């Protein structure tokens, strides 16, 4: 099946000269053809294949840039099924792992500056940067590992350039289609996906904010019934664009007081999804009063049972709320008393078996309990006794840590929390501290890479074990992706 896309056409591209994760991109035309199929299974297979090839674990390739106009043409065709999925794929091609840009938004100017800097480096400059990276190793073993992974260091430069080319391809070729969806489209899912996508293109906010504004500031007497999912997504996108647009942009002239007033209106709305969106928006504007934080915390602990399609965090609005809470904890301007309003809810989550987002919740709870890390009981000499802790919340925290069981290896937030507040890495140390019996060799809070390796070999087989272990090494020892 040959697509009738003009200009350009699929067969006008020499796909053999382009690459994706598994080599020459000669199979891309077949996947594009399947995206037009009436059969859902065909489209699913095509999306799965494209996410594994032109977008492989967030990495983009030369074929990722070339495929953009064809995906745009499909998304713009009302007869094509799954147009929201096409918008989502375009957004992923532009950004890689979108979650890395939340809750702050995209700072594309810094990325452009970094690419320009890398392009200006001479061979001697690159050599000096590599040796500087090796010299910064925390120990001799890591130093040897970095010396052996020079190709990954050099690959980073090329990947940054391709990533920016993919971003610009989507901005230049897809944004006008996203704008058409925002104006009015009978496909509500596609319109919501477009409202999400435009949030990450602040350089075009002069085009997109005027289209989001009528959705956010809708005139209820107009008779237009905007679906809840579209409205919630538009609220978050509107604030992200306001926060990341250039100060000189004409789109940022909205009276902040009017925006805050509208967000506070939604903060008291009967819909928990709209309350969540308003709290996300207000926290991004550094408005973190107790009601905002309590709304974020309640979304973490008890997410709404029925959530409409929301593309942020793939619909995981509780995860987005948690990221915003963590950002509020790290912001020195956030009033401590306001933050304390969300502590009880987070302690409830931390105490749950197999706590999801364990690392971020751990860091956030520590920041709330001991805004000054030196006040941590394990930073005292000798450590403050459990019975002498200053508050019931602190006792609840250590009880939760004694009973918690992380489901994955310790992440950067967990390591930062453990080192900043001098917390134990051994669950039995927590259990001794609170007066519970020890659990023996498996009583650790931190899951080591050896334990992860054993589990991967048992459950996923050799290939997945090697793949997971390699990723763990790179993350643990600072090898660039």
Whole-angstrom Cα distance, residue 76 to residue 5? Answer: 11
The per-residue pLDDT for range 185-205, each reduced to its tens digit, is 678 999 999 999 999 999 999
Q: Give pLDDT, residue 279.
A: 95
Ranked by mean pLDDT, the top range of 198-212, 281-295, 327-341, 448-462 is: 198-212
* Residue 328: cis peptide before it, omega within 30 degrees of 0: no
Q: Give pLDDT, residue 409.
A: 63
For residue 361, pLDDT over 80 is answered with yes
Q: Give pLDDT, residue 464.
A: 41
Whole-angstrom Cα distance, residue 83 to residue 86? Answer: 5
Whole-angstrom Cα distance, residue 277 to residue 307? Answer: 12
Classify the C-alpha dihedral 281-285-287-290 as positive or negative: positive
- For 69, list phi and psi in degrees, rounded to 5: -60, -30
Classify the C-alpha dihedral 327-331-335-336 as positive or negative: positive
Whole-angstrom Cα distance, residue 316 to residue 103? Answer: 13
Query: Rounded to whole angstroms, what are the CA distances from 126 to 2, 120, 156, 398, 478?
Result: 45, 10, 11, 47, 18
Whole-angstrom Cα distance, residue 109 to residue 455? Answer: 42
Whole-angstrom Cα distance, residue 292 to residue 276? Answer: 9
Classify the C-alpha dihedral 90-96-102-106 as positive or negative: negative
For the residues of 11-68, what is the DSSP string, one character each?
GGS-GGGSEETTEE-TTHHHHHHHTT-S-HHHHHHHHHHHHHHTEETTEE-HHHHHTH
Whole-angstrom Cα distance, residue 439 to residue 28? Answer: 53
Whole-angstrom Cα distance, residue 152 to residue 201? Answer: 29
Instruction: Give 44: exposed, middle or buried? Use CB within 10 Å, 0-12, 13-18, 19+.
Output: middle
**What average pLDDT does the segment 293-321 reach?**
86
Q: What is the DSSP letter of 139?
A: S
The per-residue pLDDT for range 140-159, each reduced to its tens digit, is 777 777 777 777 777 777 88
pTM, full prediction: 0.77
Q: Give pLDDT, residue 25.
A: 94
pLDDT band at 466 (very low <50, low <70, confident <90, very high): very low
The per-residue pLDDT for range 249-268, each reduced to its tens digit, is 555 555 678 889 999 999 99
| Paired tokens of 24 | 């020459």
For the residues of 256-289, what is the DSSP string, one character each?
HHHHHHHHHHHHT-S-HHHHHHHHHHHHHTT---
More confident: 444 or 295: 295
Whole-angstrom Cα distance, residue 117 to residue 204? Answer: 24
For residue 20, pLDDT over 90 is answered with yes
Whole-angstrom Cα distance, residue 425 to residue 358? Answer: 14
The per-residue pLDDT for range 208-227, each reduced to its tens digit, is 999 999 999 986 655 568 89
List the domain boundaries for the chain.
1-203, 343-445, 448-481
pLDDT band at 356 (very low <50, low <70, confident <90, very high): low
Averaged confidence pLDDT in the chain:
81
Q: Give pLDDT, residue 455.
A: 46
Q: What are 55's strand-pairing partners?
A: 60
């Amino acid at each position: 099946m040959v697509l009738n896309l003009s200009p350009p056409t699929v067969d006008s591209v020499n796909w053999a000269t382009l690459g994706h994760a598994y080599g020459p991109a000669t199979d891309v035309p077949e996947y594009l053809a399947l995206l037009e199929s009436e059969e859902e299974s065909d489209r699913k297979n095509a999306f799965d294949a494209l996410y594994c090839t032109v977008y492989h674990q967030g990495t983009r390739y030369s074929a990722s840039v070339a495929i953009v106009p064809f995906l745009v043409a499909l998304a713009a065709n009302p007869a094509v099924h799954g147009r929201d999925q096409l918008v989502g794929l375009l957004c992923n091609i532009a950004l890689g792992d979108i979650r890395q840009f939340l809750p702050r938004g995209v700072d594309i100017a810094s990325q452009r500056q970094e690419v320009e800097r890398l392009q200006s480096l001479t061979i001697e400059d690159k050599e000096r940067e590599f040796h500087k990276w090796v010299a910064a190793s925390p120990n001799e073993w890591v130093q040897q590992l970095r010396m052996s992974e020079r190709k990954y260091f050099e690959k980073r430069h090329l990947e940054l350039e391709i990533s920016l080319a993919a971003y610009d391809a989507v901005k230049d070729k897809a944004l006008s289609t996203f704008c058409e969806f925002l104006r009015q489209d009978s496909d509500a899912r596609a319109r919501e996906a477009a409202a999400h996508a435009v949030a990450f293109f602040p350089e075009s906010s002069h085009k997109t904010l005027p289209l989001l504004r009528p959705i956010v500031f809708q005139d209820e007497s107009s008779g237009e019934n905007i679906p809840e999912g579209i409205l919630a997504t538009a609220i978050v996108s509107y604030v992200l664009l306001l926060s990341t647009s250039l100060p000189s942009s004409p789109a940022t002239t909205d009276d902040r007081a009017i925006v805050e007033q509208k967000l506070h209106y939604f903060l008291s709305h009967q819909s928990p999804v709209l309350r969540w969106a308003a709290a996300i928006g207000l926290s991004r504007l550094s408005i973190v009063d107790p009601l905002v934080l309590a709304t974020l915390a309640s979304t973490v602990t008890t997410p709404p049972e029925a959530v409409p399609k929301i593309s942020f965090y793939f619909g995981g609005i509780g995860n987005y709320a948690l990221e915003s809470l963590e950002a509020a904890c790290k912001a020195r301007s956030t009033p401590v008393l306001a933050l304390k309003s969300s502590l009880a809810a987070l302690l409830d989550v931390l105490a749950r078996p197999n706590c999801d987002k364990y690392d971020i919740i751990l860091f956030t709870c520590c920041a709330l309990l001991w805004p000054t890390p030196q006040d941590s009981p394990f930073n005292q000499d000798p450590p403050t006794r459990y019975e002498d802790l200053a508050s019931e919340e602190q006792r609840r925290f250590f009880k939760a840590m004694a009973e918690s069981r992380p489901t994955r290896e310790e992440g950067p937030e967990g390591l930062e929390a453990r080192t900043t507040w001098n917390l134990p890495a051994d669950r039995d140390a927590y259990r001794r501290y609170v007066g519970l019996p020890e659990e023996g060799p498996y009583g650790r809070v931190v899951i080591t890479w050896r334990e992860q390796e054993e589990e991967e070999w048992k459950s996923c087989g050799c290939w997945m074990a090697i793949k997971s272990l390699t990723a763990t090494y790179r993350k643990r020892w600072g090898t660039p992706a």
